[in-house]
Amino acid sequence: MIDLKDPEFISDPYPYLAQLRDKEKPIWHEDLGIYLAATHKDASEVLRNKSLGRIYVDRTPESDWKTFNWLHSESILESEPPKHTRIRGLISKAFNRARIESLRPKIEVIVEELLNELIYSSTTFDLISNYAEPLPVRVIAELLGFPRSEEHLLRPWSQAIVKMYEVDPSETAKLEARRAAAEFSQYVHELMVARRANPGSDLISELAQVEEAGERLSAHELIATCVLLLNAGHEASVNGFGNGMVALLNNEKQRELLFSNPDKHGELAIEEFLRFDSPLQLFERTAKEDVEIGGVIIRKGEKIASLLGAANRDGNAFDNPDSMDITRTPNPHISFGGGIHFCIGAPLARLEMSIALPALIKRFPNLQLSNEPKRRDSFTLRGYERVEVSKS
């Protein structure tokens, strides 16, 4: 059985995932204690089947994990109906497509600022830390009304928390996650109190005021929502953009096609970035009752994971699945999940990348990899720590 912590697997999991997919049914992973669904059909069913749920189990001891636990149990990601329905409905009243589209001018300004900064840098720069990473962090900070001077706090908090989604995190990672959860939640709590007293035009102010049928978000639900928006909202953008650009710059034919007309091919290229090397590889759910997935009975209480990256390379759903094709259409990838837990930040991630990608190419039409990219030591959230590129 595959070892999700093996450096060779993390470097390139797709040959191993193909072996799982060849089984044509969910496979029990003894070490993880979970079924793995690797085909597009089964992985999609795991995301959508109402007999499966996101059932958060508190980490123990409670005295150590109290804040971390409620940040998750009170979020839409870890909730099921009717609680999920209520929270998502309230959030959607404030964080909707109209609001996201209204961010376009601000995103364009941030992109321009970042590119201008790169013009005066050396002949090389890090595509992750200098471009892909600061963009979504600044956008989320703008959306939530975080002071610009404190943006630098956000990414470290987020990275510490999301390390807990990996297989068997270290004791150091657990300590850092608990500390980040406490600091981040306290930070948002203070902003929430201030905005309730003096509302502004930011999302925290709106979430604090939003109401439907007499229902409002509790303090914990509001804070958990803000933390989730940062964690999920920028991880997909950073890793999706970085993974896609590395694959593109290693494929001369696809690079030439996109660079020749980024406005024409940009949106389809983004979808292919997300499919070809998925930023989120695993999303687990728990059986609320006995349920059949792909011919296998998942008993009540057992877990099953949708392997998004494996599903996105399934030849039954995609032609030439192991080849990048920036003109691919249709492209039924499941990188943003599906069902009631479809990523609420997907429209924002797509908007950010649709602006950032063509702008980067137009500014630096001779962009190339200058060194071997450094991969993050993680599977669930797949991305790069560093991608050094040259401008000429």
Residues acting as catalytic residues: 232, 235, 237, 343, 352
CA pseudo-torsion sign 209, 214, 218, 221: negative
Complete DSSP assignment for 312-368: TT-TTTSSSTTS--TT--S----TT--GGGS-TTHHHHHHHHHHHHHHHHHH-TT-E
Determine contact, residues 59/292, Cβ cutoff 8 Å: no
Nearest to 368 by CA among 333, 392, 332, 344: 392
Kindly tell me the number of DSSP H helices and DSSP E strands found in the chain: 16, 12
Determine contact, residues 291/51, Cβ cutoff 8 Å: yes
Complete DSSP assignment for 71-136: HHHTSGGG--TTHHHHHHHHHHHHS-HHHHHHTHHHHHHHHHHHHHHHHTS-SEEETIIIIITHHH
How far is 133 from 126, CA to CA, in rounded Å? 10
Amino acid in position 170: S
Q: What SS3 state is found at 305?
A: strand
Cα of 109 vs its chain's centroid, Å: 23
- Output the CA angle 86-220-203, nearest 5 degrees: 75
Determine contact, residues 209/91, Cβ cutoff 8 Å: no
How far is 4 from 23, CA to CA, in rounded Å? 18
How far is 182 from 126, CA to CA, in rounded Å? 31
Amino acid in position 224: A
